[in-house]
């Protein structure tokens, strides 16, 4: 990922927050000379190793699952909030449209899991997401017959990946002056909508640094 200096992020707390807030990652590998991709919900273990670790699962029938034998490298892309930015929102003149976004790329070598850690992964994944739903009693696998749950687990493969490299990019108009950034924040806040508000919130937090 190309990261100009003013868009680079090394704030660990910001990175962890994005990955945990947007846990559906794009998994990419090179297989037989072609790039193959899948979309996987991820559990991010921030305190394992230098950069943390990720756990995820794939359908056993997915060719990517069969290719990840513990020796093949992979990249996961986490995409945070993004939105179009109109030059009409800037104070400065003669500028062009752009797109603001936040993204994290991580690299490592996924290792297939045995059944016990797979159970832990599935429990952690559902528990974290269930906790985000206000006023709801969390769903747990105890609500399934044990034999059915075991049968369903046999149809998937879990993976554990220690992160060996991590790049984070917050392209949030940092290359514009303060008046221009303030104009974008005002416009996005006024427009409303989840994406616009999320980008405006990140831009505001960067202003306070």
Half-sphere exposure of 193 (CA within 13 A, CB side): 10
Domains of the chain: 5-174 (2.30.110.10)
Q: Check residue 57 and give its pLDDT.
A: 98
> In the prediction, which pLDDT does 207 show?
83
Q: What are the average pLDDT values for consecutive 10-residue runs of the chain, which has 209 residues?
A: 94 93 97 94 94 97 96 97 96 94 98 97 95 93 93 97 97 94 96 95 87
d(CA 17, CA 4): 22
What per-residue confidence (pLDDT) applies to 61?
96
Task: Note whether 64 and 38 are within 8 A (CB).
Answer: yes
The model's pTM: 0.93
Pull the structure tokens for residue 72: 């093949």
Kindly state the DSSP code that residue 154 receives in the 8-state scheme: T
Burial category of 20 from C-beta neighbours within 10 Å (exposed 0-12, middle 13-18, buried 19 and up): middle
Predicted local distance difference test score (pLDDT) of residue 11? 92
> Do residues 166 and 105 touch, judged by C-beta distance below 8 A?
yes
Q: Which of 103, 113, 129 is nearest to 42 (CA)?
A: 129
| Residue 96: C-alpha distances to residues 28, 99, 187, 195 (Å) | 32, 10, 16, 21
Q: Which residues on adjacent β-strands are paired with residue 128? A: none
The token pair at 120 is 């832990």
181-192: b (≥16 Cβ within 10 Å) or e = bbbbbebbeeee
Please tell me the predicted confidence (pLDDT) of residue 208: 72
pLDDT at 209: 66
């Amino acid at each position: 990922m190309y990261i100009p200096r003013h868009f680079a992020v090394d704030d660990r707390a910001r990175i962890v927050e994005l990955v945990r807030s947007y846990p559906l990652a794009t998994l990419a590998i090179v297989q037989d000379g072609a790039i193959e991709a899948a979309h996987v919900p991820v559990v991010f273990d921030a305190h394992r190793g230098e950069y943390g670790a990720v756990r995820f699962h794939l359908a056993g029938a997915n060719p990517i699952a069969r290719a990840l034998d513990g020796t093949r490298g992979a990249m996961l892309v986490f995409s945070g909030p993004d939105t179009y930015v109109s030059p009409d929102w800037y104070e400065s003149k003669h500028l062009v449209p752009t797109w603001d976004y936040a993204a994290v790329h991580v690299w490592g070598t996924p290792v297939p899991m045995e059944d016990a850690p797979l159970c832990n992964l599935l429990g952690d994944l559902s528990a974290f997401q269930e906790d985000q739903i206000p006023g709801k009693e969390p769903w747990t696998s105890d609500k399934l017959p044990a034999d059915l749950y075991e049968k369903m687990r046999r149809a998937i493969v879990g993976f554990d990946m220690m992160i060996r490299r991590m790049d984070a990019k917050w392209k949030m108009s940092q290359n514009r002056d303060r008046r221009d950034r303030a104009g974008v924040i005002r416009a996005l806040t006024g427009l409303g909508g989840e994406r616009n508000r999320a980008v405006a919130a990140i831009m505001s937090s960067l202003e306070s640094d």
